[in-house]
Structure formats: structure tokens, C-alpha cells
Amino acid sequence: MKEDEFIREVNEDYRRDRVAQIWQRYSGVFIGLAVLVVVAVGGWRYWQHQQTVQAEAAGQKFDEVVRASKGATPEAAEKAFAAVAAESPGGYRLLARLRAAAEAGKADPEAGARAYAAIADDASVGHGLRDLARLRAALLRLDKDEPETLNTLQSLAAPTSAFRHTAREMLGLAALRKGDYDKAGSWFEQITTDRETPPGLRQRLEVYVALVAGGPVQVTDAAPAAPAAPPPPVPEATTR
């Protein structure tokens, strides 16, 4: 037992000596690492605080511009939202860009479509919001009946697309406007069989289906007019 205790004490003394040697040799490194950790944590907390402050300021500014835009012209509202987008971080920047594009579209559909297209092409924006911007741009250009616009809507009409309902409705109406009743009926059929079609769209669908079922209006020549009735006979004059 005494021998075991002696060996244990020797080992403990040896370990203490080794720790002391390591500390003397690397104490500066350990202290430096500790300081770096403290500084890094403090810097991270400060950055989070600054982000929170900036987000709150951006949110307040965004709300102010939203309220002011209700009585402003589309041009003025677009400039105000563009200013918010230039100064705001993260999410509020994107919200302001979307609102600026919407206001631009009220005054000039093509300018609004270009603004939405810029958002759709921005890789830093999430996939869902890029699809939303792509849809808005296509809707603003739908009257031009361009193949590129129709192709965009067709890609958004895919079964997995979150915006398939609107895309299919617009494609059906575009086909209906061109007199392509077969294609219009095909798009409306996809809306009918989709279990997730919104109730409001199903109500409008009744009108669309009726238009497709009626088909094109047939214009026929007017029937020949019936011959005019002969004038009544003039009674003969009588003499007394």
C-alpha cells in the first residue's frame, strides 16, 4: 500500500510539474486565445444588436412609406420605396423592391415588368419570391402576347409550382382571347382537377367553362326581309 501511495504521489508531482512547465511556456498563447474568444463573442453580440437596431429602423421607415403611398402618385411612391430599398437590410430591402416594382407597374407596365425581372434574376433572393417576381412581370406583359411571356407562365403552371393556379388561369384567358377554345379548355381542365384550387378561382371557373362550352360566336347573314304588305285598297267614291 505504501509503495502504491508513493508511486501515486510521484505521478501527481510529475503531472503538476508538467502543467507548470506547459503554462510557463504557453501562457501567452492561452491568454491570447481567451482574449480572442471574449472579443469574438462581444463582437458577435454587438453585430446582432446593430442588426436588430437597423431592422427596427427599416421596418418603421417602410411602414411610414406604405402609409404615405396611399395618397401619393405611383411615380412618387416608387421613388419612396426605392429609397427604402437602398437603405434597408435584408428582408425590408426585398419588400421595398417588390413594392417599388408594383408602383412602377401602375404608371408604366413595361417599367414595372423590368423591375420585377431584375428581382427574378437576383440569385440572392429566395426561389419562391423569384417565382413571384417572374409571375408579376409576366402578368404586366400579358397583353403583348409575347412567346417569352407565355413560356414563363407555362413554367409557373407546373404541378409543383406555388403559383400554378394564377398561371393556369391567365394562360386559359389568353387562349380564350385568341379564340383557341381547345387550349383554353385544357388549362381550365387542369384547374378543375387540381384539389388545391382556391374556392374563388373555382367560382370564376364556372364562367370560363361556360364560355368554352359556348364556343366561338357564329355570325350568319341576316335573313331576307319579308316583302312589304300591299297598301290597303282605296275605297271607291260614292255619289249621292
Q: What are the tens digits of pLDDT across the range 218-232?
A: 544 444 444 444 444
What pLDDT digit, counting tens, does each position of 102-150 carry?
A: 999 999 999 999 999 999 999 999 999 999 999 999 999 998 888 999 9
Residue 50 scores a pLDDT above 80: no
Cell numbers 411610414 correspond to what residue? 64
Give residue 51's pLDDT. Answer: 59
Residue 181: exposure state from Cβ atoms within 10 A (0-12, 13-18, ≥19): middle
Give residues with Cβ within 8 angstroms of 142, minimum separation 6. Answer: 149, 153, 170, 174
> pTM of the entire structure?
0.68
Instruction: Of 173, 200, 193, give the one whose Cα is nearest residue 184.
Output: 173
Give residue 173's pLDDT. Answer: 94
Give residue 149's pLDDT. Answer: 93
Helices of type H across the chain: 2-69, 74-87, 90-107, 109-120, 127-140, 147-156, 164-177, 181-193, 199-214
- Name the percent of the chain lying above pLDDT 90: 50
Mean confidence (pLDDT) of the chain? 81
Q: ∠ CA 181-185-190 to the nearest 5 degrees?
A: 155
| Amino acid occupying residue 108 | D
Q: How many CB atoms lie within 10 A of CB 29?
A: 9
What pLDDT digit, counting tens, does each position of 145-164 carry?
A: 889 999 999 999 999 999 99
| 146 vs 139: CA distance, rounded Å | 11
Position 46 confidence tier, pLDDT thresholds 50, 70, 90? low
Cell numbers 282605296 correspond to what residue? 234
Is 95 in contact with 62 (CB distance < 8 Å)? Answer: yes
Instruction: Of 173, 193, 191, 192, give the one whose Cα is nearest residue 183.
Output: 173
Instruction: Provide mean pLDDT across the span 169-197.
Output: 94
